[in-house]
Amino acid sequence: MKYHAFYAPWLLLLGLLTVGCQSDHRHSPPGNPGLQVEQLEPGVWMHTSYNTFDGVLYPSNGLIVREGDHLVLLDSAWGAEATEELQVWIDEEIGLPVDRALSTHFHSDRTGGVAVLEAAGIPVWSHPMTQRLSAEEGNPVPANALKGIEAPGSTTGSGSLEVLYPGGGHARDNIMVWLPEQKILYGGCAVRELATDNLGNTADADLGYWPQAIRHAQAMYPQAEVVIPGHGKPGGPELLEHMHTLFEDSGN
């Protein structure tokens, strides 16, 4: 099932109704929906956790990808407790080990559960810059650095997946992950959902290069059918085109 903006509300409702798509919320703060997991394709699940930024509750997306007899986690859940909850869900609902995880930039919505994963014996990988920026920010630091993606527009393999460093965008170190079999591009926080009318948190953004970073992604993966933003509803390649509208509206 390919994910496009027209179908997103129906699919979100389906995800909420599906058994196992919402975990036990007893430990979630008031108003926090807790962990949600939705299957997008055979062998691909989107996990969504919630936390507050500047007093506003936001959803944060990541992916679980099956590779044969094991799984790959794209970004931890938002925080240690949510990541522990995600591990329980994976054990109970999928029952396969997580072979490795990737953190797509240094902010806490991507790295908040790194220590939990590494304590469970799951190696976490990131752009080399993410290690430095995480340490400077006081966030958990992924122990492993991907090689060969220092230059904007460069890629490297990670099992069945391809990792793109498009250049600075939402953050200087943001990476994207391509799932070639499913034609899914995990854009992370470098991509905004279609419903947004602004660039979001730009405190650590590379506003000058961000448009070029999106053009790199468009040029590399013109066959993408599904694009997953770091926050909000997935869509198709129109999410990448939407970014250029946001850049123009912001005068960038």
Catalytic choice (201, 204, 244, 252)? 201
**Pure H helices in the chain:** 8-17, 80-89, 108-111, 114-119, 128-137, 210-220, 238-249
In the chain the first and final C-alpha atoms are separated, in Å, by 35
Does residue 107 have an active-site annotation?
A: yes
DSSP letter at 175?
A: -
Selection from 119, 129, 95 nearest residue 206 by Cα: 129
Does residue 47 have an active-site annotation?
A: no
What is the C-alpha separation between 166 and 198, in angstroms, rounded? 20
Contacts of 164 (CB under 8 A, 6+ apart): 149, 153, 154, 155, 175, 176, 177, 178, 216, 217, 220, 221
Catalytic choice (4, 105, 231, 242)? 105
Catalytic choice (170, 216, 231, 242)? 170
Catalytic choice (47, 107, 127, 242)? 107
Selection from 199, 142, 202, 204 nearest residue 173 by Cα: 204
Does residue 25 have an active-site annotation?
A: no
Does residue 4 have an active-site annotation?
A: no
Burial of 118 (0-12, 13-18, 19+ CB in 10 A): middle
Does residue 170 have an active-site annotation?
A: yes
Catalytic residues: 105, 107, 109, 170, 201
